[in-house]
Amino acid sequence: MGQSLTYKILSSHLVGGNLKQGEEIALKIDRTLTQDATGTMAYLQFEAIGVPKVKTELSVSYIDHNTLQTGFENADDHRFLQTIAAKYGIFYSKAGNGICHQVNLERFGIPGKTLLGSDSHTPTAGGVGMIAIGAGGLDVAVAMGGGAFYMNVPKVVLVKLSGKLQDFVSAKDVILELLRRLTVKGGVGRIFEYGGEGVKTLSVPERAVITNMGAELGATTSVFPSDERTMEFLKAEGRIQDYTPLSADEDAVYDEVIEIDLSSLEPLAAKPHMPDQVVKVSELKDVKVDQSAIGSCTNSSYADLMTVAAILKGKKVHPDVSLVISPGSKQVFEMIAKNGALADLIASGARILESTCGPCIGMGQAPRSGAVSLRTFNRNFEGRSGTKDAKIYLVSPQTAAASALTGYITDPRTLGKVPEIKMPEKFDIDDSMIIPPSTKPEEVEVYRGPNIKPLPVQQKLPESISGKVLLKVGDNITTDHIMPAGSKILPLRSNIPAISKYVFETVDPAFSERALKEKGGFVIGGENYGQGSSREHAALAPMYLGVKAVIAKSFARIHFANLINFGILPLIFENPADYDKIKQGDELIAPDILKELNERKPVTFINKSQGNAEYKFKYNLTDRQVKIIKEGGLLNETKSSQQHPATI
């Protein structure tokens, strides 16, 4: 029996456990990435571990999220990140150099390596044949310190591609088709591995679009083989030495197989307010468009922007539409400037933004109230754009450009002849905005602005816990619901007391004040609680507010791990019907929780507000994770062990 590509890479990095589905394994991490919205906490945690230099072969700190400098906070934090990178052996990608996933793909992606990133779209690097996984900043900090990354072995799903994409149909439509079939919960506990004859028709940037939005399926990661197209890309990036051919064995066995005929696809769109609300663009008739936004880590490559420029050349954006474009990297920006494509974009009436995440995380370009905004991004959660009642559609660059011209959601196939985009044999290489670490780290003084506050510390788990149900929410609660992003809140990411005031702000503005008044308590959730980004602030800030446990029907992978990392117990309803019985404001007590965890028994909660009714909750925790919960979080456990877990 042959091996899948996934198992080949995992087995070559295995330092603990067995590659058996559902079992916990420990992986050696070759490389890490952070971005500035999650990086400050990750590096404060790395400092707390006490290692003098990162032990990975490469770690890169990117500035791409918080570049809107309306106060001192972001600029101060960028200086902190640059100095800490210089001191601890980390490369630093300056603001303006580009979005972390685009730059990583261009300059650092290597087939067969493992990458752990404090951003949920880290799997973008799967487009170049890496096993790249998004995680919380604390997991990344431990990996930088030489520790292993732990995860349960997922199912491996073969997505077998055949045929070739038709004119005006793009890689974005491939992943939207998967979301249509599987929903935002369909990838939980799975790695998607792409194969079949259709793979060779897709370039590395196209593959990266698909692996990027695998995060929206809830997948652990997604990966493509490393083949001639990979070699072509790495050669153009001046990195042919990094090429290694990698593929699954012909007789590889998979847990599931999904078949997609690329030639059968047509332009698709995800309707508000979830990436799996997918319909054909041709079915969206007479929908007037107010804004079109092209960019993000999903669709900001050279090929994407050249395609958009070709569609817009010699034409004008509709008078009622605001078109904004964010090149994914300095490399992309500079190349379209040199070849004239940027001039075509500007002449059409497009507004050109920085090479950053920008509107995707609500950092500027919020649409008007009630607007329809088409975005080539990866998420369209309610309010994420910065305008709560805006209607956000996720589309391909081709659809976004066509619609910007007509003023209505438009099938790009109506444009006529498809533009022919010739990829360069060699990209323009300029790594001057990637700053290497200092050769004299002992002389580097880490800059700490006044917005950087000490890490809050969780206490060890007591014998019993009690408190009120602070909030009860439904299914598919995202990390944007729990800890919103945007230009007002993200600058506070280094200041947990300040940012905690905004926990659940979009759901219940009184949550933070109530949690502090009650000295903490519990949160009740439905299915897929915590989907979305890797932001550990969605666990760290609730921990600061005293949340002791989150009880839900099911959890998204990264948030589940983040809750454990910060000592918040993630519990699952043993009887889903009990969800309807518990009300917000109910007083709960778990009198023997420590004993029950030690004995690996379901935990019993008593509802004092409802006649001492009893509920049983289970927990999908390994012995290692139980130990972390008991210690009050991963940082406490790491320190108490006097060494890094599974040090390599």
185 contacts 216 by C-beta, under 8 angstroms: no
Phi and psi at 357, nearest 5°, equal -65, -40
Which residue type sits at 122?
T
368 contacts 339 by C-beta, under 8 angstroms: no
* Whether residue 384 lies in the annotated active site: no
* Whole-Å CA distances, 564 to 249, 298, 328, 388, 555: 36, 29, 34, 30, 12
* Whether residue 559 lies in the annotated active site: no
**Cα–chain-centroid distance for residue 422?**
30
State how far the Cα of 266 lies from the Cα of 414, in Å rounded to an integer: 12
Which residue type sits at 473?
V
Q: Which strand ranges, in their side-by-side order, compose the sheet holding 351-352?
A: 278-280, 268-270, 391-394, 372-375, 291-294, 322-325, 351-352
60 contacts 436 by C-beta, under 8 angstroms: no
* Whether residue 227 lies in the annotated active site: no
DSSP track, 609-644? GGTTEEEEEE----HHHHHHHHHTSHHHHHHHTTS-
Which residues share a beta bridge with 352? 325
- The catalytic position among 30, 64, 77, 480 is 64
* Whether residue 239 lies in the annotated active site: no
State how far the Cα of 132 lies from the Cα of 120, in Å rounded to an integer: 10
* Whether residue 119 lies in the annotated active site: yes
> What is the three-state SS of 385-443?
CCCCCCEEEECCHHHHHHHHHHCECCCHHHHCCCCCCCCCCCCCCCCCCEECCCCCHHH
- The catalytic position among 13, 31, 65, 384 is 65
State how far the Cα of 404 lies from the Cα of 318, in Å rounded to an integer: 6
- The catalytic position among 101, 379, 493, 559 is 379
* Whether residue 533 lies in the annotated active site: yes
- The catalytic position among 207, 384, 535, 557 is 535
- The catalytic position among 301, 533, 534, 554 is 533
Instruction: Render the burial of 616-633: b for 16+ CB within 10 Å, e for the rest.
Output: ebebebeebbbbbbbbbb
> Which is nearest to 537 in space by CA: 479, 450, 488, 459?
479
Contacts for 466 with CB less than 8 Å, ≥ 6 apart: 587, 588, 589, 590
- The catalytic position among 119, 276, 304, 578 is 119
Where in the sequence numbering do the catalytic residues fall?
A: 64-65, 119, 379, 533, 535
